[in-house]
Chain A
């Protein structure tokens, strides 16, 4: 058994049987992974709490109250017969989302709110506590990102395992076909689709959600006014921040699904201890 740097090894060393255990995730990868996991859980639920204080998104520098620049709104609307329903309007198209968005909670005591109680922290409407939670975990999220980025740049993790190579791009059709057949290769290395997903999250969504968060700060607008120019105004930045959140939720669902599909025990062991059991036999079959 040999200790290998992150996912460096192409051919796992012999261990006497068909499997080999490799050191897949170094400490910086594992610590930042779990810091993000915890921070993002609280950032998501407190972020939805903050959103609920004004459950409407706009494009531009300001919110249109006397003109129209709304792209998403969650509202409680009263029909002529007196019944109140939750309606979500996306780019001018309205959907009845009673029970989840706009109006939620028990029928005899409904709440008029954007996201429902089960999706926010605290569960009840409390903007100030939502902000307290959000800005606490934002520091950890950003700190973990800086630690991860610098250490991955130095260790070569970024270039080796995250940025897709030309070979990865060429192999993408095969990689997609493999995924569709649920045929996974446990060689400890990331395939093209994995690299694209991780690069998208780590190098696009994470910096974007941090930068748009900062753009919403009136203090930061004085320090770095160019942030407003990049994102097209504070309200557009708020909308992008929300879309990044939605993208991360989608990533999380796929991420968990793939962990379950690829072998949850082995995957969990590698992201906790670093050690990952490769399936050599499978690899050999692939090369045939």
Chain B
């Protein structure tokens, strides 16, 4: 007997499509009320704003998540979502071992700059052993090394109108019948300046693997995995999330996931 492998991420992506194919019973009574952009679903989703505000009131701005001992690293970091982007510009970088990679930082900043991977590696680094929680429910502990994002923000000098940090990514996600969309994510400036929020280039004492987001991914330790964008192309300081993607602040958010992923 062999394991029947189901790609859950794919399942989520095409859930809406699959739904129409599954003959429904008991609980389909609510399905039409809860689908897509229904007003009822929007109303229920507003509870996420309450959760966000409650967490911001309850959790200190710089309060750290627990960090673990090396002995808690018992397995490799489990990847999810994109694990091997095939976008042309990414493949070109991959061919040269990311030597031509440059992280651009722009938007509402006084001094837009870009960094090579070596420049980032030569900046003061932070290493932390933390638990990665996927929205699906699983957790995985591993060690992350990278540049604290607040150092980058201090260097570029964030303008007063900026409210969010947007991460633009190389990987394009398959949306089934709706085509494709580039991965992107966003966080507020509180999480952006949090001491454990790092632009990670190392994982478990090795260069970040492609499956885990090479050359650079962000760690936002007080939130779920989908907030921690991989394959980061550029960082943009913005005042509003409306102009990006579907306007909800992230690839998964545009598909219905909560923008605040701290729960």
Binding site for B on A (CB under 8 A): 45, 50-51, 53-54, 56, 58, 61-67, 75-80, 84, 105-106, 109, 111-112, 117-129, 131-133, 135-136, 139, 216-223, 225, 228, 234-235, 238
B2: chain A residues at CB < 8 Å are: 77-78
A66: chain B residues at CB < 8 Å are: 74-76
Interface bits B104-129 vs A (CB < 8 Å: 1, else 0): 00000000000000000000000000
B257: chain A residues at CB < 8 Å are: 127-128, 131
CB distance from B39 to the nearest CB of A (A): 13
Distance in angstroms between the alpha carbons of A76 and B35 in the assembled complex: 27
A105: chain B residues at CB < 8 Å are: 22-23
Q: Is the CB of B19 within 8 A of A122?
A: yes
Distance in angstroms between the alpha carbons of A139 and B134 in the assembled complex: 22
A132: chain B residues at CB < 8 Å are: 41, 44-45, 47-48, 256, 258
B262: chain A residues at CB < 8 Å are: 217-220
Distance in angstroms between the alpha carbons of A98 and B74 in the assembled complex: 33
Interface presence of B15 (CB below 8 A): yes
Q: Is the CB of B27 within 8 A of A222?
A: no
A225: chain B residues at CB < 8 Å are: 65-66
- Given contacts A66-B74, A126-B15, whether A133 and B1 have CB atoms under 8 Å apart is no
**What are 11 A-B residue pairs whose CB atoms fall within 8 Å in the complex?**
A56-B138, A62-B72, A67-B75, A118-B27, A122-B19, A125-B11, A126-B16, A129-B41, A131-B257, A222-B63, A223-B60
Q: Is the CB of A219 within 8 A of B263?
A: yes
Contact of B12 among A112, A127, A136 (CB under 8 A): A127
Q: Is the CB of B137 within 8 A of A51?
A: yes
Q: Is the CB of A119 within 8 A of B27?
A: yes
Q: Is the CB of B137 within 8 A of A77?
A: no
Q: From B158-166, B168-176, B216-224, B232-240, give the one contacting chain A.
A: B216-224
B65: chain A residues at CB < 8 Å are: 218, 221-222, 225
Q: Is the CB of A238 within 8 A of B137?
A: yes
A119: chain B residues at CB < 8 Å are: 26-27
Q: Which residue of A lies closest to B59 (CB)?
A: A223
Q: Is the CB of B133 within 8 A of A135?
A: no
Q: Is the CB of A234 within 8 A of B1?
A: no
- Which of B47, B221, B258 is most buried by chain A, counting CB atoms within 10 A of its CB? B47
- Given contacts A123-B27, A129-B41, A234-B131, whether A221 and B66 have CB atoms under 8 Å apart is yes
A133: chain B residues at CB < 8 Å are: 34, 44
Interface size range on B against A: 35 or more
B255: chain A residues at CB < 8 Å are: 128
Contact of B4 among A77, A106, A109, A129 (CB under 8 A): A77
Q: Is the CB of B258 within 8 A of A139?
A: no
Q: Is the CB of A64 within 8 A of B74?
A: yes
CB distance from B160 to the nearest CB of A (A): 26
Q: Is the CB of B27 within 8 A of A126?
A: no
Interface presence of B51 (CB below 8 A): yes
Contact of B34 among A111, A117, A129 (CB under 8 A): A129
Q: Is the CB of A124 within 8 A of B4?
A: no
Contact of A128 among B19, B68, B131, B256 (CB under 8 A): B256
A64: chain B residues at CB < 8 Å are: 74-75
Q: Is the CB of B140 within 8 A of A117?
A: no
Interfacial residues of chain B within 54-70, with CB under 8 A of chain A in the complex: 55, 58-60, 63-66, 68
Binding site for A on B (CB under 8 A): 1-4, 6, 8, 11-12, 15-16, 18-19, 21-28, 30-31, 34-35, 41, 44-45, 47-48, 50-51, 55, 58-60, 63-66, 68, 72, 74-76, 78, 131, 133-141, 221-224, 252, 255-258, 262-263
B76: chain A residues at CB < 8 Å are: 66
Q: Which residue of A lies closest to B135 (CB)?
A: A127
Q: Is the CB of B27 within 8 A of A122?
A: yes
CB distance from A53 to the nearest CB of B (A): 4
- Given contacts A61-B72, A78-B4, whether A45 and B135 have CB atoms under 8 Å apart is no
Q: Is the CB of A109 within 8 A of B258?
A: no
Q: Is the CB of B66 within 8 A of A124?
A: no
Distance in angstroms between the alpha carbons of A121 and B29 in the assembled complex: 9
Q: Is the CB of A125 within 8 A of B12?
A: yes
B12: chain A residues at CB < 8 Å are: 53, 125, 127-128
A223: chain B residues at CB < 8 Å are: 55, 58-60, 63
Q: Is the CB of B22 within 8 A of A117?
A: yes
- Given contacts A122-B30, A131-B258, whether A62 and B139 have CB atoms under 8 Å apart is yes
Q: Is the CB of A129 within 8 A of B256?
A: yes
Contact of B78 among A65, A135, A219 (CB under 8 A): A65
Contact of A135 among B51, B60, B72, B136 (CB under 8 A): B51
Pick the 7 closest A-B CB pairs, nearest first. Answer: A219-B262, A118-B26, A124-B19, A66-B75, A128-B256, A63-B138, A54-B137
B48: chain A residues at CB < 8 Å are: 132, 135
Q: Is the CB of B58 within 8 A of A124?
A: no
Q: Which residue of A lies closest to B141 (CB)?
A: A62
Q: Is the CB of A218 within 8 A of B74?
A: no
Q: Which residue of A lies closest to B225 (CB)?
A: A218
CB distance from B213 to the nearest CB of A (A): 18
B44: chain A residues at CB < 8 Å are: 132-133, 136
